[in-house]
Amino acid sequence: MGLDKSPAILRGRRLVLGVTGSIAAYKAVSLLRALKCRGASVSVVMTDSATKFVAPLTFEVLSGERVTTSLFEAREEMRHLTVPEGAHAVIIAPATANFLAKAAVGLADDVLSTMLLTAQCPMIIAPAMDGGMWEHPTVVEHVRMLRARGVIVLDPEEGPLASGQVAQGRLAAEARIVEAVEALLIPQADWLGHRVLVSAGPTQEAIDPVRFISNRSSGKMGYAIAEAARDRGAEVVLVTGPTALVPPAGVEVVFVTSAQEMADSLCRHFAWATVVVMAAAVADFRPREQAVQKMKKQGRMSLTLDLEVAPDILAMLSAKRTAQVLVGFAAETEDVVAHAMAKLVGKGLDAIVANDVTKEGAGFGSDDNAAVVLSRGGRRKEFGLMSKRRLADYILTEVRDLPVTCRTSSIGVE
């Protein structure tokens, strides 16, 4: 497995790697490197006997995190007794026959087996044991029990064992373990190899140091697109206006305020991107001048603001594109499809996601949305009310499947 060439497909994923006392413990060092190279953050937990084979310091240096080794050390900080919050999976590699037995029946006499009883996330166990043990009826029964509970147990491989015997007992190859982690956490990696630039949220155009013009965009749709693209294997940069949302992990986030800042940031990342999804609600107009001091109302009966047109970012990007696929959004209140089609053509886009923001339960601020996706090749797909996260997946599938005539770069699996 070419470590340095591995795409960071596991970025944003938090893993716990449990290492038990088998001679194959040294292979967990390389497994840790492979998982880290794929972008995962990994906390290592070792049983006491594992520390007899490999020093915790090795894992500590390579993971960049403190290694948990003992129940008693863990008690100093009770949180170490539980699987770290937000962990996406626990991987036990290598797992001894003794550890399989403890995991199967729920014994909790060391830090790793205690943690397992608190795990809410999926688990992958890669056993390693000496000749004959794997076929012993108790081991077979424990594996059956674990699998019945949904634990993924990777069969050990056949070959020469440390004892000199040739039997089924070698730890599954590193590539198999990494593949199992990927298949578990990234079930659909159809955006692997793509670099997706997403804009989200409103922009704020300053009137004076305390006032601005903005709009009702919450940013939820753009954040959902960024998260979905990440989950499907893409590298993602999210350029976001001010929102109340927590940005998705594993995504590079650029915070901006005005349409100009958003334009500048998107232009900077444009050459890098293969696909741009413009979900931001960018201001169309901005005050021609910003007052340096807070404007006073004293003596005034009315106020007229002089607004100038803000940069049309999509039109700008469209004019300078090389091979990027451009996807716009159209938030409309009437004649949704006709207006969206005019924007698709006018801005030179490959696809546009049109939605009626007056629809009950959809649009600004809502967790749900309904949309029609139009593409330059004449395709039209309607999606009823659903969560923005689910709609994001449908939008990505539509963009991936754009008719070849309107693609400016390949969206297929690479």
Give the interface with ligand CTP as residue ranges (CB under 6 A). 259, 278, 280, 282, 284, 310-314, 328-331, 343
CB atoms within 10 A of CB 228: 26
Nearer to ligand CTP, 191 or 329 (CB): 329
Nearer to ligand CTP, 50 or 280 (CB): 280
The alpha carbon of residue 249 and the mean position of all alpha carbons in its chain are separated, in whole angstroms, by 6
| 3-class SS of residue 173 | coil
Least distance CB 308 / ligand CTP (angstroms)? 12
Asked about 215 being catalytic, the answer comes back as yes
Nearer to ligand CTP, 98 or 240 (CB): 240
Nearer to ligand CTP, 9 or 280 (CB): 280
| 3-class SS of residue 381 | strand
Least distance CB 74 / ligand CTP (angstroms)? 49
> Is 248:220 a contact under the CB 8 Å cutoff?
no
Least distance CB 362 / ligand CTP (angstroms)? 15
Closest by CA to 67, choosing from 99, 43, 96, 35, is: 43
Phi-psi region of 316 (alpha: psi -120 to 50; beta: other; left: phi over 0): alpha
Q: From the candidates 98, 215, 355, 369, give the one annotated as an active-site residue.
A: 215
Nearer to ligand CTP, 25 or 263 (CB): 263
CB burial of 20-42 (b: ≥16 within 10 Å; e: otherwise) equals bbbebbebbeebbbbbbbbbbbb
Return d(Cα 286, Cα 79) in angstroms, integer. 50
- Both tokens assigned to 401: 């499947």
Least distance CB 290 / ligand CTP (angstroms)? 18
Least distance CB 367 / ligand CTP (angstroms)? 20
- Catalytic residue IDs: 215
